[in-house]
Each structure stands twice: as structure tokens, then as C-alpha cells.
């Protein structure tokens, strides 16, 4: 895909989201979503000048009203969206606890952001994808049933559910020419991944961008480093 794309990245002010913005803003129009105006302003300022349309909208994926308002602004700025990267997510610091000691509140909060948040955003952005389109949901190997281990109950459940949602959307949006995949970015040195992680943000996001823009983009798959898992 060599032509300029109109791209929306949720949670684009730090970590993987900001890493994606840095790479994609070189050749494409990108709008990031942020929780507050200050984060948006500082993210765009840090990026410096770009010849493309680069901006932010305030959106909280937990809140449908903010998503609907943000989608109206996105439509005004770019009209049509080619790619949506659902990156916004949370990891509540209960991950050392076993499942039977994990609070219901943390499970519901995590599910609300990591799973329902993606569905809410898709509801508002899919209608803007009139020329077919691509959706990439940032998941985690921690949501893979085949390799399921202990701990991080809330996060694991939210990402397993996100993988299921990806399959559902990939089937239902296929008649519109929209392809949906979920990817594990690997273990990345972010606020969430920690300092011991094996990948830098740049290494991870470079692989994600290569996958996102490839010509033979699959549908309904779960991938890591471009390979189906």
C-alpha cells in the first residue's frame, strides 16, 4: 500500500500508540485519540512538523458520547478512514493475584476498556470506512487460549474476549470489504510492559506498521511479528 492512508490510532499519546504515530505520520494522515487536551497538544508538539494532516481528538473509549463526538470531528477532518488501530488499553495492578482473589471491579473495568472500548470505537469509525478498510486490534499473547497461564486474570480475560470480538467483526464486516485482525505487539518496554521487556517501542511498532500496510492483508487472524499464532 504505497498511497497515502487516513489512519486513526486510539491511545496515541504514549507507548506503542505514539510509536505508531511517529512512523505513520511520515507518509500518511493520522489522527490520534487522547483522554485529555493537554496530552494531545504535547504529543503533536513533540512530533514536530509534518506535511500530512496530523492531529488529535479527545476521546475516552469507556464513554460512548465522547467517541461519537470524536468521530464527528474525525469525519470533518478526513472524511473517509482507511485504517483504525485500536491501541488504547489498561492493565490494573492486580496481576500478581490469583483469579479467586481478583476483584470483580478490576475485571469489569478492564473488560470495559480493553474489549467494549474497541467495540464502541468500531461502531463510530466503521461508518467512515466507505472505501473498504483495515482494523487492527492490539491484543496480547496473554489472551491466547492455547498458551494460557496464571495471573493477570482481568487482563487475560479482556484480551481473550477481544480476540473473539475480532473474529466476529472479521466475519460481519467482510461484506463491506473491511478486514479485521488482532495482533500481539510482543513484550515491549512501555509503562505497561516494564523495563525488563525484550522489545523497544521502535522495534515493535516497525513490525506493526509493516504488517498494517502490507498488500496481502489477512482477515480474522491473530498474529505476532507478522506471523499467525
Of residues 18, 56, 95, 155, which has the active-site annotation?
A: 155
Q: Report the SS3 class of residue 129.
A: coil
User: CA triplet 29, 35, 36: central angle to 5 degrees?
Assistant: 95
Q: Is 18 a catalytic residue?
A: no
| The three grid cell numbers given for residue 59, joined into one nine-digit string | 476521546
Each residue of 173-188: b (16+ CB within 10 Å) or e? beeeebbbbbbbbbbb
Are the C-beta atoms of 72 and 129 separated by less than 8 Å? no
Please name every residue paired with 83 in a beta bridge, in sequence order, or none if there are none. Answer: 7, 134
Are the C-beta atoms of 31 and 77 separated by less than 8 Å? yes
Quickly list H helices, 101-174: 104-111, 117-125, 153-172
Beta-sheet pairing, 178-184 with 222-224: parallel
Quickly list H helices, 79-152: 104-111, 117-125
Among left, alpha and beta (phi > 0; psi -120 to 50; other), residue 225 is left
The residues assigned a catalytic role are 155
Amino acid at each position: 500500500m504505497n498511497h497515502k492512508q487516513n489512519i486513526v490510532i486510539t491511545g496515541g499519546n504514549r507507548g506503542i500508540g505514539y510509536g505508531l504515530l511517529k512512523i505513520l505520520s511520515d507518509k500518511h494522515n493520522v489522527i490520534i485519540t487522547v483522554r485529555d487536551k493537554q496530552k494531545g497538544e504535547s504529543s503533536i508538539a513533540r512530533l514536530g512538523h509534518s506535511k500530512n494532516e496530523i492531529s488529535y481528538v479527545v476521546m475516552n473509549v469507556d464513554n460512548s458520547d465522547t467517541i461519537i463526538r470524536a468521530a464527528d470531528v474525525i469525519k470533518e477532518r478526513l472524511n473517509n478512514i482507511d485504517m483504525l488501530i485500536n491501541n488504547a488499553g489498561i492493565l490494573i495492578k492486580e496481576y500478581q493475584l490469583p483469579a479467586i482473589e481478583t476483584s470483580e471491579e478490576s475485571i469489569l473495568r478492564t473488560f470495559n476498556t480493553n474489549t467494549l472500548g474497541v467495540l464502541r470505537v468500531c461502531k463510530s469509525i466503521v461508518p467512515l470506512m466507505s472505501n473498504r478498510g483495515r482494523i487492527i486490534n492490539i491484543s496480547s499473547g496473554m489472551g491466547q487460549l492455547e498458551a494460557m497461564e496464571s495471573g493477570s486474570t482481568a487482563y487475560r480475560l479482556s484480551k481473550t474476549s477481544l480476540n473473539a470480538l475480532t473474529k466476529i467483526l472479521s466475519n460481519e464486516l467482510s461484506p463491506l470489504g473491511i478486514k479485521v485482525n488482532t495482533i500481539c505487539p510482543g513484550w515491549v518496554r512501555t509503562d505497561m510492559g516494564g523495563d525488563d521487556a525484550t522489545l523497544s517501542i521502535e522495534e515493535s511498532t516497525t513490525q506493526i506498521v509493516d504488517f498494517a500496510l502490507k498488500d496481502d492483508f489477512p482477515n480474522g487472524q491473530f498474529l505476532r511479528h507478522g506471523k499467525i499464532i
